[in-house]
């Protein structure tokens, strides 16, 4: 995740841009840079490392322009270097970017074939060249950006400046956040309201697919189709609180919608997207080639993420897996092989049972890796190695973005294990990495189904019991859906392996109990459709979460939610979205305290 700032000012802007970037350093700090419009034209200052290095460079070589864009980087494509630092430029165009351009290889090849030479290895640089190519073809900057946006695939936020156009700045948002700030004769762009707090508290958040043309008098927002739209200007409290809800009613809603952005960040930390490989920290305390089995243990949503990972370690790494909830594992006295490893998953890094399970493993000579969101937590500090989820602060008690970011880390670990154990080919690794790179965009597309999900959530609020069914990794998503619903709406819900239906739960089926079935068209689909028919034959009411192909083959259901089609490794991320949103909207309708549900705590530090 990177940070973006843009300012159309009434005085020199470089120092203000750096001030804004400092509030975005939590998003990444491999390198940073500023571009401004000077009397002599477009000028850039870029520095590797933390912002203080850029600050020092600007002291030595100041910029005086009154229009500028700035960026603090978390490397996705290409190592941290000055050549890869943003802003990137081509001809009169300067651009900064946050997110992932998925089709960058094809676009880069297209431009190279036209003789374009690239300064660095980033996907961002090609965006500058694409816009410049349109301008060289006679297009005005606005039309050039509009045409370029149509060529890009992925989840990203962008900000542009143009030499010779001192009162023009353009921004675009697709999957990664971008806010417009309204000043007094000045206008701003920023990755979030916090970054703009030093300049203004009048903020408008761009919606998915929006792009915005700014001058010092104001902003014109257009949707993806190019139609002019209105985005509400509101007063942000960002200056008062470092983490705020922004335009969302609850932290949980904000965190659900942050997932495309934070997943881009998490994936870019563990993937070398240019090479199409997993890139783990060098100093692993084990060699996967020598690991005999993996113990996975956690609590709640962390345990469910581990359940998904079990399928991945078995499928992609052919590693035997033992998995258990930590409160059981810690007392099982399980015999452990010192050649095995353990992975614990914990958003807070302070869950007592998970910490106890970690200590049990270490006491038995087993090395422990932790997938954690709080890198200063006890679990992070006591594990042999911590793998940060980098999901950003998660305030809502119901875990959402930490769940999907845990999946991102665990998927990368399973792929790396498969490569090291010689059971996963380099081609298959590249294919899987390509599928993971699509996850932020697919999640953004899944979020677009929210209006329909909200309507369907009403059905759940009329029930006293809800059953969630799935097979394979969809079984884990069924468990997560049931956990989310019960913990924030207080409606009883159970997640079950669809294949277990006939071994008891089918006795529950009647017209009063909605059955949510997680079933994209995958290798478990046909069997799950049979289970759906067993439910319907007994008057049960099915709410089906599937994809286009599944919807065409599943027969009648009371409601069908069609999610984007995804590769099996991406499907758990995509189908986590509808179960999160179903629970959120049901809870809102039930009038419960969504962010702080009764009886719960964000971190269970006692057993
Ligand atoms: C998830 O929505 C719940 N809030 C809860 O199950 C949580 O996942 C569990 O308490 C584990 O917390 P941790 O990830 O901080 O260890």
User: Probe ligand 1: pick from 255, 296, 298, 302, max atoms within 8 Å of CB?
Assistant: 302
Identical fold at 3-244 and 254-437? no
The mean pLDDT of 197-204, rounded to a whole number, is 90
107 vs 25, more confident: 107
Nearest residue (by CA) to ligand 1, atom 3, is: 398
- pLDDT at res. 1: 58
Q: Looking at the predicted structure, is the pLDDT value of residue 343 above 60?
A: yes
- pLDDT at res. 589: 97
User: Probe ligand 1: pick from 299, 386, 576, max atoms within 8 Å of CB?
Assistant: 299
The mean pLDDT of 162-191, rounded to a whole number, is 94
Domain ranges of the chain: 3-244, 254-437, 445-590
Residue 16 CA to its chain's centroid (Å): 28
Among 6-10, 51-55, 189-193, 503-507, the range with the most confident prediction by mean pLDDT is: 6-10
Weakest-pLDDT range from 129-138, 215-224, 553-562: 553-562
Nearest residue (by CA) to ligand 1, atom 5, is: 300
The answer to whether 534 touches 506, Cβ cutoff 8 Å, is: yes
At 528, the pLDDT band (50, 70, 90 cuts) reads very high
Distance 496 CA to ligand 1 centre (A): 19
Could you give the CA distance from residue 58 to residue 54 in angstroms, rounded to a whole number? 6
At 241, the pLDDT band (50, 70, 90 cuts) reads very low
The answer to whether 417 touches 319, Cβ cutoff 8 Å, is: yes
- pLDDT at res. 68: 98
| Ligand 1 atom with the shortest distance to the CA of 400 | 2
Among 25-39, 249-263, 588-602, the range with the most confident prediction by mean pLDDT is: 249-263
Q: Looking at the predicted structure, is the pLDDT value of residue 258 above 60?
A: yes
| Ligand 1 atom with the shortest distance to the CA of 483 | 2
Could you give the CA distance from residue 579 to residue 534 in angstroms, rounded to a whole number? 22
Q: Active-site residue among 50, 79, 452, 602?
A: 602
- pLDDT at res. 437: 95
The mean pLDDT of 340-359, rounded to a whole number, is 95
Nearest residue (by CA) to ligand 1, atom 6, is: 300
pLDDT above 90 covers what percent of the chain? Answer: 78
| Ligand 1 atom with the shortest distance to the CA of 484 | 2
Average pLDDT, the chain: 93
Weakest-pLDDT range from 120-124, 158-162, 396-400: 120-124
Weakest-pLDDT range from 4-13, 68-77, 388-397: 68-77
| Ligand 1 atom with the shortest distance to the CA of 301 | 8
Best CA proximity match to 466, nearest among 390, 564, 535: 535
Distance 425 CA to ligand 1 centre (A): 35
**2 a catalytic residue:** yes
The mean pLDDT of 11-25, rounded to a whole number, is 89
| Ligand 1 atom with the shortest distance to the CA of 402 | 14
Nearest residue (by CA) to ligand 1, atom 7, is: 300
Domain 254-437 superfamily per CATH: Glucose-6-phosphate isomerase like protein; domain 1 (3.40.50.10490)
Nearest residue (by CA) to ligand 1, atom 4, is: 398
Distance 253 CA to ligand 1 centre (A): 17
Q: Which helix (H) or strand (E) holds 46?
A: strand 41-48
Q: Looking at the predicted structure, is the pLDDT value of residue 264 above 60?
A: yes
Q: Looking at the predicted structure, is the pLDDT value of residue 260 above 80?
A: yes
Distance 367 CA to ligand 1 centre (A): 23
Distance 398 CA to ligand 1 centre (A): 7
At 120, the pLDDT band (50, 70, 90 cuts) reads confident
Q: Active-site residue among 2, 361, 405, 412?
A: 2
Best CA proximity match to 4, nearest among 203, 252, 180, 200: 180
Best CA proximity match to 559, nearest among 517, 508, 498: 517
Q: Looking at the predicted structure, is the pLDDT value of residue 472 above 70?
A: yes
The answer to whether 517 touches 541, Cβ cutoff 8 Å, is: no
Q: Looking at the predicted structure, is the pLDDT value of residue 347 above 50?
A: yes
Distance 399 CA to ligand 1 centre (A): 6
User: Probe ligand 1: pick from 252, 297, 300, max atoms within 8 Å of CB?
Assistant: 300
Q: What is the pLDDT of residues 299-326, one digit of tens each?
A: 999 999 999 999 999 999 999 999 999 9
Could you give the CA distance from residue 4 to residue 206 in angstroms, rounded to a whole number? 14
Distance 601 CA to ligand 1 centre (A): 9
Q: Looking at the predicted structure, is the pLDDT value of residue 221 above 90?
A: yes
User: Probe ligand 1: pick from 583, 597, 604, 607, max atoms within 8 Å of CB?
Assistant: 604
Cβ neighbours of 426 (radius 10 Å) = 11
Residues with CB under 6 A from ligand 1: 299-302, 346-348, 351, 354, 397-399, 487, 603-604
Q: Which helix (H) or strand (E) holds 586?
A: helix 571-590
Nearest residue (by CA) to ligand 1, atom 10, is: 300
Q: Looking at the predicted structure, is the pLDDT value of residue 105 above 80?
A: yes
At 240, the pLDDT band (50, 70, 90 cuts) reads very low
CA-based end-to-end distance of the chain:
35
Q: What is the pLDDT of residues 69-82, one digit of tens each?
A: 999 876 666 667 78
Q: Which fold has domain 445-590?
A: Rossmann fold (3.40.50)
Could you give the CA distance from residue 114 to residue 8 in angstroms, rounded to a whole number? 34
Distance 299 CA to ligand 1 centre (A): 6
Q: What is the pLDDT of residues 400-432, one digit of tens each?
A: 999 999 999 999 999 999 999 999 999 999 999
> Model's pTM, two decimal places?
0.80
The answer to whether 293 touches 314, Cβ cutoff 8 Å, is: no
Distance 400 CA to ligand 1 centre (A): 10
The CATH code that applies to domain 3-244 is 3.60.20.10
Nearest residue (by CA) to ligand 1, atom 9, is: 300
Weakest-pLDDT range from 243-257, 288-302, 342-356: 243-257
The mean pLDDT of 212-223, rounded to a whole number, is 97
């Amino acid at each position: 995740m990177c940070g973006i700032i843009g300012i159309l000012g009434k005085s020199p802007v470089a120092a203000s841009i750096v001030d804004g970037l400092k509030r975005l350093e939590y998003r990444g700090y491999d390198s940073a840079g500023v571009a401004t419009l000077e009397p002599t034209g477009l000028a850039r200052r870029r520095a590797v490392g933390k912002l203080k290095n850029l600050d020092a460079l600007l002291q030595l070589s100041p910029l005086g322009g009154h229009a500028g864009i700035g960026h603090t980087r978390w490397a996705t494509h290409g190592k941290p270097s000055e050549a890869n630092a943003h802003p990137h430029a081509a001809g009169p165009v300067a651009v900064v970017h946050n997110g992932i351009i998925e089709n960058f290889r094809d676009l880069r090849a297209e431009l190279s074939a036209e003789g374009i030479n690239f300064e660095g290895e980033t996907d961002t640089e090609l965006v500058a060249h694409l816009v410049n190519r349109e301008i060289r073809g006679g297009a005005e900057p606005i039309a050039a950006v509009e045409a370029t946006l149509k060529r890009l695939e992925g989840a990203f936020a962008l900000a542009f400046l143009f030499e010779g156009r001192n009162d023009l700045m353009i921004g675009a948002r697709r999957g990664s956040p971008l806010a417009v700030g309204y000043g007094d004769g000045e206008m701003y762009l920023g990755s979030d309201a916090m970054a703009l707090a030093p300049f203004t508290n009048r903020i408008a958040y761009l919606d998915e697919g929006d792009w915005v043309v700014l001058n010092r008098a104001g902003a014109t927002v257009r949707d993806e189709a190019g139609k002019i739209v209105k985005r509400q200007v509101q007063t942000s409290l960002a200056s008062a609180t470092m983490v705020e809800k922004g335009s969302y009613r609850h932290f949980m809603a904000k965190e659900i919608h942050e997932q495309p952005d934070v997943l881009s960040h998490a994936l870019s930390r563990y993937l070398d997207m240019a090479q199409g490989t997993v890139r783990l920290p060098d100093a692993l305390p084990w060699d996967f080639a020598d690991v005999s089995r993996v113990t996975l243990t956690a609590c709640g949503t962390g345990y469910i993420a581990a359940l998904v990972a079990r399928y991945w370690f078995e499928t992609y790494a052919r590693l035997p897996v033992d998995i258990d909830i930590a409160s059981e594992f810690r007392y099982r006295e399980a015999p452990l092989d010192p050649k095995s490893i353990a992975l614990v998953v914990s958003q807070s890094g302070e869950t007592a049972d998970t910490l106890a399970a970690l200590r049990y493993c270490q006491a038995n000579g087993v090395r422990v890796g932790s997938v954690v969101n709080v890198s200063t937590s006890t679990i992070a500090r006591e594990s042999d190695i911590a793998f940060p989820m980098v999901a950003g602060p998660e305030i809502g008690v119901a875990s959402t973005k930490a769940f999907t970011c845990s999946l991102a880390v665990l998927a990368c670990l399973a792929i790396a294990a498969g490569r090291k154990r010689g059971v996963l080919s380099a081609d298959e690794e590249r294919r899987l990495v390509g599928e993971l790179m699509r996850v932020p965009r697919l999640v953004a597309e899944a979020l677009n189904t929210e209006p329909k999900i909200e309507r369907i959530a009403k059905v759940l609020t009329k029930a006293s019991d809800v059953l969630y069914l799935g097979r394979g990794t969809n079984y884990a998503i069924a468990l997560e859906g049931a956990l989310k619903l019960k913990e924030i709406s207080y409606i009883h819900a159970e997640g079950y392996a669809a294949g277990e239906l006939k071994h008891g739960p089918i006795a529950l089926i009647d017209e009063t109990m909605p059955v949510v079935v997680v079933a994209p068209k995958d290798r478990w689909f046909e069997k799950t459709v049979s289970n759906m028919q067993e439910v319907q034959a007994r008057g049960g009411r099915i709410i089906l979460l599937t994809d286009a192909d599944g919807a065409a083959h599943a027969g009648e259901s009371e409601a069908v939610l069609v999610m984007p089609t995804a590769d099996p490794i991406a499907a758990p991320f995509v189908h986590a979205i509808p179960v999160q949103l179903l629970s959120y909207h049901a809870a809102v309708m039930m009038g419960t305290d969504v962010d702080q549900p009764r009886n719960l705590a964000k971190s269970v530090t006692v057993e």
